[in-house]
Structure 1
Amino acid sequence: MTAMKRAGTGLNGTRRAFLGTSMGLAAALGTALPARAGDASGCRRIPRGGIGMHLYTMRNALAQDFAGTLEQLADIGYATVGVSGRHGNSAADIRRMLDAVDLKAVLEHVAYDTLKGSGLPQALEDLHTLGAKWPVVPSLPGALHTPDGFREAARQFNRIGQASRDAGLGPVLFHNHGTDHVVVDGTSLYDILVTETDPHLVGFELDVYWAAKGGADPATYFVRHRRRFPALHVKDMAPDGGFADVGSGTLDFAAMFDHAREGGVKQWLVEHDSPTDPFATARNSYAYLAALRY
């Protein structure tokens, strides 16, 4: 979906479309050309409707001005967001603010204990209110970081995923961190979740930075476990191992995304855990992903 179409019609929609194009081009001119996989003839690109922002990146700005932050993201060109923290707003409040700037929520991070407990029905109802598709477990409690703990989590995920499907939503997704890729007795904890959950009920929001940090290869997962990864956290790694704006670090996104279609990726959500200037990060990262060919 193009920025012009996404932004809608009328003066405000035209303004957002113009700003999204001009700001993206300006940022791109100041950024190194995206890396490609293979030769320079790569012609695939990320659909504009698939470039989103995971709102954890913008948490400080959202706490000051939630509606204004969303408007700036729409102006840059983002089409979607992943919700992570509401900053005192209800699901209905956030939906109104998203609708006002033609952004769409695609998922929300909800605590594991909430989803496996009595809070599940309300969480699923809130997803409907937001207009989102996927409930996402952002992390597992530290006490579960054993093979048996992850097997118990897999059983809970299947149950949560069934409830989500029954509610007319997508499968429950799991968001990984580096410690989820620890190998115990020859088995990766993360692989326990992948292999011991029902593909129809459970998928994954793969954080490519944490996967790489944990020694895993995202592209290999896309190939081996097709259509299990509808959403990504696109986060880059600085040379010192810290966080970087997408396209400015060391990860080879072109090679990684060459297999994204096999993995079933629909959403590429930008994330930076500790941006110095979240709006600069948002502009730089959007420009890179919009220009990327692979």
Structure 2
Amino acid sequence: MHGSRRAFLGTALGLAATTAGLTAGLGTTAHAADASAAAGRHGCRRRRIPPSGLGMHLYTMRTPLAQDFKGTLARLAETGYATVGVSGRHGHSAAAIRQMLDETRLKAVLEHVGHSTVTGSGLPQALEDIHTLGARWIVVPSLPGEMHSPAGFREAARQFNKAGLAAREAGLGPLLFHNHGSDHAVVEGENLYDILLTETDPELVGFELDVYWAAKGGADPRSLFVRHRHRFPALHVKDMAPDGDFADVGSGVLDFAAMFDTAKSGGVRQWLVEHDSPADPFATALNSYTYLSRLRY
């Protein structure tokens, strides 16, 4: 759904709104009026996601991967995807996954590695595995629940700086952190995500911004990209259904054209599709790729 059929829901990018707020104004007339207004504000959209930057986060494909890892990769490549984010190896070694990626002409750009591994004795092996995969970034997918306080996030910032230095010394890119909605909460008067942004070294630590969870948590990706330049080399591109659930990219309420308008400022290099609970992972992969490959902003 795009052009005159797609709502320009700029407010969805600052989603402190409730589900009722999200669904308001989604009638056909509102869609046409908002799309027309968006076209006028943006003028002639010429930019596009570079084909080499359009990827799939493999958590989306976990069910078929568990049955046929290489066959699933091959279908993603046939769809048009160029890159993947690794999330779960399904019994395969990093070397075996790299071989399958090479054979299907896909490139791994990052891998999600648990917080306890990144902050513990397993970090050197994890960094070696990133090299083996041919990737650039190691990503912490979440923080333990007990760390969701200003003190906990300050400790996480310290841990990330240390692990980011190890990643740099290993010849890799900065350590990245993947957000969820609760990471954008205000606790004891402080925004938790802002603590990570301000108390980590930009040379050592970056962010894989999940735009769905950012919006769900009340953050504005456009503003983040401008206020914290070059901190967001990778995105999880995930859409939101009118009821607040997950949706195939392009079928929900998030305005990706507006969101990506400032992505260059944020340093975005990878747009990784994700859907947390797809009914048909391959249909989701196709629908999302088709929308993003045609998107102009």
TM norm structure 2: 0.87
Give secondary structure in 1 for the equivalent of 2:98: helix
Which piece of structure 1 moves more, 225-234 or 35-44?
Answer: 35-44
The 2-side partners of 1:61 and 1:144 are apart by 33
Amino acid at match of 1:243: F
Q: How does 1:39-54 map to 2 (within 5 A)?
A: 39-54=42-57
Which piece of structure 1 moves more, 177-186 or 220-229?
Answer: 177-186
User: Residue 156 of structure 1: CA displacement?
Assistant: 0.2
Q: Does 1:184 align with 2:187?
A: yes
The 1-side partners of 2:208 and 2:284 are apart by 21
The 1-side partners of 2:42 and 2:70 are apart by 42
From 256, 261, 282, the equivalent of 1:258 is: 261
User: Residue 55 of structure 1: CA displacement?
Assistant: 0.1
Cα distance per residue 1:83-141 (max 9 Å; x no partner): 00000000000000000011000000000100110000000000000000000000000
From 115, 128, 133, the equivalent of 1:130 is: 133
User: Residue 32 of structure 1: CA displacement?
Assistant: 4.1
Gaps of 5+ in 1: 1-30
The 1-side partners of 2:201 and 2:135 are apart by 21
Amino acid at match of 2:54: I
The 2-side partners of 1:93 and 1:79 are apart by 19
Q: Which residue of 1 aligns with 2:234?
A: 231
The 2-side partners of 1:289 and 1:40 are apart by 19
Q: Which residue of 2 aligns with 1:274?
A: 277
The 1-side partners of 2:42 and 2:274 are apart by 28
The 1-side partners of 2:191 and 2:246 are apart by 24
The 2-side partners of 1:186 and 1:32 are apart by 39
Percentage identity across paired residues of the two chains: 75
Q: Which residue of 1 aligns with 2:149?
A: 146
User: Residue 40 of structure 1: CA displacement?
Assistant: 4.8
User: Residue 187 of structure 1: CA displacement?
Assistant: 1.5
Aligned residues: 264
The 2-side partners of 1:213 and 1:108 are apart by 24
Give secondary structure in 2 for the equivalent of 1:226: coil
Give secondary structure in 1 for the equivalent of 2:139: strand
Cα distance per residue 1:236-259 (max 9 Å; x no partner): 000000000001000000000000
The 1-side partners of 2:197 and 2:107 are apart by 28
The 2-side partners of 1:76 and 1:281 are apart by 11
From 172, 184, 198, the equivalent of 2:175 is: 172
Q: Does 1:110 align with 2:96?
A: no
From 84, 102, 109, the equivalent of 1:81 is: 84
From 54, 59, 64, the equivalent of 1:61 is: 64
The 2-side partners of 1:243 and 1:105 are apart by 24
Give secondary structure in 2 for the equivalent of 1:232: strand
From 73, 89, 98, the equivalent of 1:95 is: 98
Cα distance per residue 1:257-278 (max 9 Å; x no partner): 0000000000000000000000
Runs of 4+ in 1 over 3 A off after TM superposition: 31-37
User: Residue 184 of structure 1: CA displacement?
Assistant: 1.4
The 2-side partners of 1:81 and 1:213 are apart by 24
Q: CA RMSD in A?
A: 1.1
Q: Which residue of 2 aligns with 1:9?
A: none
The 1-side partners of 2:116 and 2:209 are apart by 20
